Amino acid sequence: MIYDCYTIVITGLGGQGLIKIIQILGTALMNEGYKVISSETHGLSQRGGKVTCFLRFGNTLNAPIPMIGTADMIIALEESTIIDALKFTKPDKSTLLIISTYEKNVLGQEYPSIQGLLNNLYERSDKIYFIPAMEIAEKQTGNPKTMNSVILGYITKFLYLNKKVLEESINHNFSETIIELNLKAFNEGLNL
Amino acid sequence: MEKIYTKIVNGQSGEAKFFLGNEAIVRGAIESGIDVYTFYPGTPSSEVGETFIALFKKVGMKWVESSINEKVAMEVAGAAYARGATAMVGMKNVGLNVASDPLFALATTSPKNENSALVILVADDPQQHSSAVEMDSRNFLKLFKIPALEPGNPQECLEFTKEAFNISKELKLPVIIRTVTMVAHARSNVIVGNIKKSELKNDFDLSKEFNVALRTFFLEMKEDHIYNRMVKALEISEKSKLNRVENENFTNEFELGIITSGVSYSYVVEALNFLGLKAPILKIGIINPLPVRKIISFLDKFKKILIVEENDPYLETQVLAIAHRDNLKVRIFGKDPFSYSKEGLLLPYVGELNPTKVALALINITKLKPKLNLEQILERKYESLTRVPSLCPGCPHRTTGYALQKAVKKVKSTTRKEVYFYQDIGCYTLLALPPFSFANVKYCMGSSIALAQGVTHTSESLNIAIIGDGTFFHSGIPALLNGIYNKAPILVLILDNGWIGMTGQQPHPGSDTLYYAEGDFKKRIYLERLLLGTGAEFDVIKHAEKQDGKYSVELYDLIYRKSLEVLESKNLHVILIQDECIQKTIKRQAIIIRAVDTDSCNNCSICYNQFLCPAIVEIEDNAYIDSGICLGCGVCEEICPNKAIHKEEI
């Protein structure tokens, strides 16, 4: 598959491992021959707060931040954070929304109802996928922290990427002790 | 460490690596034969220092240090430069304020050693992703009168760093590399070049005529600096391919050209493509001195010019002056540097740019109507949860905050005095947020102790300064000495977590590195001995020595008693609270997570509502500890009034 410019927006909470996803996916895409650029924010202000990162790849080098209304895929690692990225969805409703069903409550605020959330999502996209990545990770690997590898596996299909390249990148980017677990989680995601 | 070395240093010329902008800067410096790197950590510049620390010995560099503050870092690197080293110093934007004093003199000195080169990395943070202020460091360039380069992506980070070393070596001027968050923290394919070995010579010339800022020598050096070395810098800027016109042959009906630099260039390209607008772009890589002749010949071709830059109108002010000096009839759009009005502003002074903002500015000038209605998208608002950043699970500052809250409540009720808090720069700044809300005044690194003095001398209130150990070493010590000498009746809480926690647990002179990868490699300075030397009244409380489950109660009691003492005795008092950063502790100690016994829990909500540990939530009328988040500090077990929290059985 050849992309001129493919834009992924990733939302979640600081500490959820957004940067790891970018490292693994970015390295794999580079090895597939793409020009890749990503942006991320580090540091204190992000821990537990909302974070939005971008990963873009294609034949030419793009800006680290995309235009609104132009994303090809939005991944939310925490369900409610998808809302903050909806301005990046394409008006023709073709943007893929991939949402982990993990919910993190905020003290003193009511968590958005699933119906309210869905109403907003259907207004912006016809391609919405919820995945219980945390449950799958916990059940299949015993470690909920491998949730991001489940998601990586899941999106690999949509991007028509070579499974081997992703696995190599996982090997490369995790410490020895957790590579096997993450490969297992990755394959679980791939086979969903 | 081996992994970092493999990642950064391995690889032949022409190979592609997936590098963070900051990693590309390190590679660029190693390809320039760097000898010395000094720094003070600060987002978004910290990874440069961390990477150098991990690999400097193996690379064959002479010296790398995480200095006590930016001023010292600048001085250590500055004198290394004077003696002929290829040196670099790194900091975030506000760090340059601290380092500006030595830099002003250093910029004018004129080392006589062939290999002398000094590159200063300054990382700005538009949008304040992780900063106390939003500050455009480019404004310093007119004061220091030194060359500055601004890369716009990781590949340019590598190339511009190498060019900065070349220019510095050639001109004997320090050269600034200015990044922003979206460059320093961008990741991209980077084609690397060849590693260069250090060429440091044992013999060197340190003649005072070229290195001493003193009236006898200084004016002569200043003449040489401005009329000789900066003239050469201007010639380099005029000829450099870093300042170039992109799409020179493009034309558009609006006779519009664009001037931009750094990451803003990529936003311009994106916005032009989006609008299907073809316009030449003057991309400025050397942002000081500006290539005046190139700018003139560019301005001369257009009726309208849009200048795209983040934060202050640094380029715009100069381009306006150049256009006026050469009497060019061209309309210049951007921020209008002389109005300060938000009315009709095309591009903002405040916050980060992005392609959408640039496209809107272009639409405003051209009245083009793109297929995608950007304003309509931006108008559609969604309600979403507000999430404030929180301290880590297991963070010692939470325990301090909890104890302080109880102590202050009691002080207020017994004395009827008002209590005010002076904050500093560190993770503990988050104690300024509800429910703790410990913050009345806060400015910059090391300011808390002096701020407390400013109010205590003019009111009857209790004034409490909150400062971390790293910040205390950085610039808190002079303020403390000032307070002791002046008998300022304030309570100083030093929240000693042992490390510069916020930027990634870098060591400072008080860090106990023995149990970690760094090993026992430097002479540790003990804060309690330092305090003893000042003659101040102080107490030390160490969490590690209180495993009896009473630490938080003792801390509360200590803060309460000492608060009363300060009010009565009218003397400064320090409490040194030693409790290690949990992110470090978990690297040397197994995590023993906690669990809630639902039979004993009566859902009093103290642990999740007042103590506010992010690992604890309320589920089905009970407190519940998320095993994936808990880091095992065990403080919840201490504060639970029903003894319902215990160590998780494994």
Torsion of the alpha carbons at A127, A133, A135 and A141, rounded to the nearest 10? 150
CB contact under 8 A, A87 and B430: no
Q: Is residue A166 part of a domain?
A: yes
What is the rounded CA–CA span in Å between residue B153 and residue B25?
11
CB contact under 8 A, A66 and B355: yes
Residue-level pLDDT at B413: 97
CA distances from B362 to B99, B144, B306, B369 (A): 38, 34, 8, 10
- Comparing CA positions, the residue from B64, B51, B37 lying closest to residue B8 is B51
What is the rounded CA–CA span in Å between residue B149 and residue B158?
12
Q: Is residue A1 part of a domain?
A: no
Backbone region of residue B612 per phi and psi (left: phi > 0; alpha: psi in -120 to 50; beta: other values)? left
Contact B186, A39 (CB under 8 A): yes
Instruction: Calculate the CA A36 to chain-centre distance.
Output: 16
Residue-level pLDDT at B547: 81
Give per-residue pLDDT as tens, B38-88.
999 999 999 999 999 999 999 999 999 999 999 999 999 999 999 999 999
Nearest to B384 among A27, A49, A84 (CB): A84
Most B CBs within 10 Å, among A7, A42, A79, to test the B interface: A42
- Comparing CA positions, the residue from A157, A104, A65 lying closest to residue B353 is A65
Q: Is residue A35 part of a domain?
A: yes
For residue A93, the domain's CATH number is 3.40.920.10
Strand, helix or coil for residue A112: coil
Which position has the token pair 């299949």? A140
The residues near B77 (Cβ < 8 Å, ≥ 6 apart) are B36, B37, B38, B87, B88, B89, B118
- Residue of higher predicted confidence among B365 and A105: B365
Chain A (70-129) residues lying within 8 Å, Cβ to Cβ, of chain B: 70, 80-81, 83-84, 86-87, 91, 105-107, 109, 111-112, 120
Residue segments in chain B with a per-residue pLDDT below the cut of 70: 1, 649-650
Nearest to A40 among B185, B270, B382 (CB): B185
CB contact under 8 A, A67 and B274: yes
- Comparing CA positions, the residue from B75, B73, B71, B82 lying closest to residue B110 is B82
Q: Is residue A115 part of a domain?
A: yes
Residue-level pLDDT at B509: 94
Neighbours of A192 (CB within 10 A): 14
Contact B308, B264 (CB under 8 A): yes
Q: Is residue A89 part of a domain?
A: yes
What is the number of structural domains in chain A?
Answer: 1
Which position has the token pair 């992000």? A46
CB contact under 8 A, B612 and A107: yes
Instruction: Calculate the CA B325 to chain-centre distance.
Output: 37
What is the rounded CA–CA span in Å between residue B616 and residue A124?
34
Give per-residue pLDDT as tens, A133-155.
999 999 999 988 899 999 999 99
A35 to chain B, any CB pair closer than 8 A? The answer is: yes
Q: Is residue A40 part of a domain?
A: yes
Residue B514 tokens read as: 């023995």
- Comparing CA positions, the residue from A47, A65, A67, A19 lying closest to residue B129 is A47
A172 to chain B, any CB pair closer than 8 A? The answer is: no
Residue B491 tokens read as: 């309570």
Torsion over CA: B515, B521, B526, B527 (sign): negative
- Comparing CA positions, the residue from B412, B581, B413 lying closest to residue B507 is B581
Residue-level pLDDT at A46: 58
Residue-level pLDDT at A108: 82
Confidence of residue A42 (pLDDT cuts 50, 70, 90): low
CB contact under 8 A, B387 and A48: yes
Nearest to B129 among A45, A87, A106 (CB): A45
Neighbours of B630 (CB within 10 A): 22
Residue-level pLDDT at B91: 98
Torsion of the alpha carbons at B25, B29, B32 and B34, rounded to the nearest 10? 170
Residue-level pLDDT at B514: 85
Confidence check on the interface: ipTM exceeds 0.85, yes or no? yes
Residue-level pLDDT at A45: 52
CB contact under 8 A, B18 and A80: no
Residue-level pLDDT at B466: 98
Q: What is the mean pLDDT of residues A19-40?
A: 96
Residue A111 tokens read as: 């968590």
CB contact under 8 A, B359 and A67: yes
Residue-level pLDDT at A15: 84
Residue A156: which domain range?
6-190
Q: What is the 3-state secondary structure (H, E, C) of A148-191?
A: HHHHHHHHHHHCCCCHHHHHHHHHHHCCHHHHHHHHHHHHHHHC
Which position has the token pair 């050096």? B221
- Comparing CA positions, the residue from B259, B267, B265 lying closest to residue B355 is B267
Contact B210, B79 (CB under 8 A): no
Residue-level pLDDT at B650: 57
A36 to chain B, any CB pair closer than 8 A? The answer is: yes
CB contact under 8 A, A44 and B427: yes
Torsion over CA: A106, A110, A112, A115 (sign): positive
Distance between B4 CA and the closest CA of chain A, angstroms: 11
Which chain A residues have a beta carbon less than 8 Å from that of B154?
A: 37
CB contact under 8 A, B188 and A86: no
Q: Is residue A170 part of a domain?
A: yes
Q: Is residue A51 part of a domain?
A: yes
Distance between A192 CA and the closest CA of chain B, angstroms: 24
Backbone region of residue B516 per phi and psi (left: phi > 0; alpha: psi in -120 to 50; beta: other values)? beta
Per-residue pLDDT at A184 exceeds 70 = yes
What is the rounded CA–CA span in Å between residue B163 and residue A124?
46
Helices A147-158 and A133-141: crossing angle in degrees, nearest 10, is 120
Neighbours of B342 (CB within 10 A): 9
Helices A176-190 and A163-173: crossing angle in degrees, nearest 10, is 150
Quick one: DSSP state of residue B462? E
Nearest to B372 among A63, A69, A105 (CB): A69
CB contact under 8 A, A64 and B44: no
